[in-house]
Chain A
Amino acid sequence: MDLLAFGNTGWGDELFFATLMTVAVSITAMIIGFCFALIFTPLKLSKNKFLHFIGNSYTTIVRGVPELLVIYLLFFGGSGAVMYVASIFGYNEYIEINAFLTGSLAIGIISGAYSTEVFRGALQSIDKGQFEASKVLGLKKPFYFFKIIMPQMLRLSIPNLSNVWQITLKDTSLISVTGLVEIMRQSYIAAGSTRDPLFFYSFAAVLYLLLTYLSMQLINKLETKYRRGY
């Protein structure tokens, strides 16, 4: 237990902040993923063949390629791309982009592909009558989308979004390869300096279990709240 003491003698506070970092990255990635999903869900459902192709390629490619490969692409390619844009504006120094941003973006792109599939499924399972009724009542398109379709879509997607959240939470362990100090990276550092990998990796596993357990409790509460009246 000495190993987990807070302060300079143990790894307790470091692991605590690393856990907060994991949660922060997961939430940021989830939000980025929602933004991607909001763009790509309509594309995927579009009747226009070209737009449908774009939406479909996004989900197929991201869900068919290992997460690590996407992270390597953004990690190695990200600063190169930013430097290229900067060089157009005449800035030629080396730019290192923030590991937090690259990591969240990488995980966000992955989580976005899963969210897109969830939203698509939810939209397709909404009764056609709802769309027709809104049209018959002469509601304007943005109004009926935001006030009638969207609330139902969100309610239908909560159970599946909780799966996406679990996947996202676990995927954040992969950004440890880029050096961002979250649970996995901190355990790696602690294991290296104390030569006690078994303890620290097992402790990391416990932290992840705790996070998944707590978030499941929270999501279950949310679910019962939004299922009122159904």
Chain B
Amino acid sequence: MDLDLMINSFPKLLNATLITLKLLSLSLIFGLILGLFFAILRLNKNIFLSRFSYLYSYVFRGTPLLVQIFIIYFGLGQLEFLRSSFLWVVLKEPYWCAIIAFSLNTGAYTSEILRSAFETINKNFIEAGDSLGISKKIIFYKIQIPIAIRQSLPAYGNEIILMLKGTSLASTVTLMDLTGVAKYIISTTFKPIEVFIVAGGIYLFMTFVIHNFIKYLEKKYSY
């Protein structure tokens, strides 16, 4: 055990944690928007729209996240019309490529979580709203969405933790996130166990915080 190395690498790894957290929070925000959008599409009566949403979630859940990042980071640069468009400003940065891939990936899982939450809402709530003369729009925003959010909290908590682990793949496209820095320190010092303990400890701490935060929310919004 090399305690000095562990103490020295701690601030570096903690610094890299900031990038991990930035990646995580941005992709979760975009992913939630995408997820809600595709969940609503999926429940649409139009078969074409619901099929499209199903295809999206099937493809992104059926392929590894690594492939998705590589297609976006290495693959899209090949398309001439993308290189000359304004999108290239975003797509040439590995940081944004990673965020796009993570958002699309977590969006697919989130849409499934939200869909099943919408489907399990007790029909009586909606009927009660209807018979009270509340408009469809308000029923959706004030009754269906809050209940769906509460229903999907446990599954969404798992998704956040999976995404936290997923951000480690950003290190494969040259980003120096927590895993990227950990790998760099391992390959320069050849002390994998010490670095693993420190980096793994930071990840575990984050998982622990997320897990308990979700538990707290579940308790707060239980009915």
Chain A residues with CB under 8 Å of chain B are: 60-61, 63-69, 72-73, 76-77, 80, 166, 170-171, 173-174, 176-177, 184, 187-188, 191, 196-199, 201-202, 204-205, 208-209, 212-213
**A-B complex: 9 closest residue pairs judged by Cβ atoms:** A66-B168, A198-B75, A173-B64, A77-B192, A197-B74, A64-B207, A76-B192, A170-B64, A66-B165
A183 — nearest CB in chain B belongs to which residue? Answer: B67
B193 to chain A, nearest CB (A): 6
**Is residue B46 within 8 Å, beta carbon to beta carbon, of the partner chain?**
no
A177 to B182, CA, bound (A): 15
Q: Is the CB of A209 within 8 A of B63?
A: yes
Chosen A-B contacts, 16 in total, with CB atoms closer than 8 Å, are A61-B204, A64-B200, A64-B203, A66-B164, A66-B167, A80-B190, A80-B192, A173-B64, A174-B66, A191-B74, A197-B78, A198-B78, A201-B67, A208-B63, A208-B64, A208-B67
**Is residue B29 within 8 Å, beta carbon to beta carbon, of the partner chain?**
no
B165 to chain A, nearest CB (A): 4
Chain B residues with CB under 8 Å of chain A are: 58-59, 62-68, 70-71, 74-79, 161, 164-169, 171-172, 179, 182-183, 186-187, 190, 192-193, 196, 199-200, 203-204, 207-208
Q: Is the CB of A197 within 8 A of B59?
A: no
Q: Is the CB of A69 within 8 A of B64?
A: no
Q: Give the residue of A60, A73, A187, A196 whose beta carbon is less than 8 angstroms from that of B192.
A: A73
Which of A73, A177, A187 has the largest number of chain B CB atoms within 10 A? A73
Number of A-B contacts (CB under 8 A): 114
B182 — nearest CB in chain A belongs to which residue? Answer: A69
Q: Is the CB of B78 within 8 A of A76?
A: no
For B203, what are the chain A residues with a Cβ–Cβ distance below 8 Å?
Answer: 64-66, 69
A61 to B204, CA, bound (A): 7
Interface of B, secondary structure class, is helix
A176 to B69, CA, bound (A): 14
For B165, what are the chain A residues with a Cβ–Cβ distance below 8 Å?
Answer: 64-67
A16 to B114, CA, bound (A): 37
What 12 additional pairs, Cβ within 8 angstroms, besides A69-B199, A77-B192? A61-B204, A68-B169, A68-B179, A69-B200, A69-B203, A76-B186, A76-B187, A77-B193, A174-B64, A197-B71, A197-B74, A201-B71
Interface of A, secondary structure class, is helix
For B62, what are the chain A residues with a Cβ–Cβ distance below 8 Å?
Answer: 166, 208-209, 212-213
Q: Is the CB of B63 within 8 A of A170?
A: yes
A77 to B66, CA, bound (A): 23
Q: Give the residue of B65, B67, B78 whose beta carbon is less than 8 angstroms from that of A196.
A: B78
A65-B200, A173-B67, A184-B66 known; A73 vs B75 contact (CB < 8 Å): no
Q: Is the CB of A69 within 8 A of B63?
A: no
A91 to chain B, nearest CB (A): 19
A84 to B112, CA, bound (A): 48
For A171, what are the chain B residues with a Cβ–Cβ distance below 8 Å?
Answer: 64
A182 to chain B, nearest CB (A): 11
A166 to B66, CA, bound (A): 15
B164 — nearest CB in chain A belongs to which residue? Answer: A66
B205 — nearest CB in chain A belongs to which residue? Answer: A64
A211 — nearest CB in chain B belongs to which residue? Answer: B62
A177 to B166, CA, bound (A): 15
A64 to B162, CA, bound (A): 8
For A197, what are the chain B residues with a Cβ–Cβ distance below 8 Å?
Answer: 70-71, 74-75, 77-78
For A80, what are the chain B residues with a Cβ–Cβ distance below 8 Å?
Answer: 190, 192
For A198, what are the chain B residues with a Cβ–Cβ distance below 8 Å?
Answer: 71, 74-76, 78-79
A61-B200, A64-B161, A197-B78 known; A72 vs B66 contact (CB < 8 Å): no
For A174, what are the chain B residues with a Cβ–Cβ distance below 8 Å?
Answer: 64, 66, 169
For B77, what are the chain A residues with a Cβ–Cβ distance below 8 Å?
Answer: 197
Q: Give the residue of B68, B71, B76, B171 whose beta carbon is less than 8 angstroms from that of A68.
A: B171
A171 — nearest CB in chain B belongs to which residue? Answer: B64
A132 to chain B, nearest CB (A): 31
A80 to B186, CA, bound (A): 12
A210 to chain B, nearest CB (A): 9
Q: Is the CB of B190 within 8 A of A201?
A: no
A61 to B199, CA, bound (A): 12
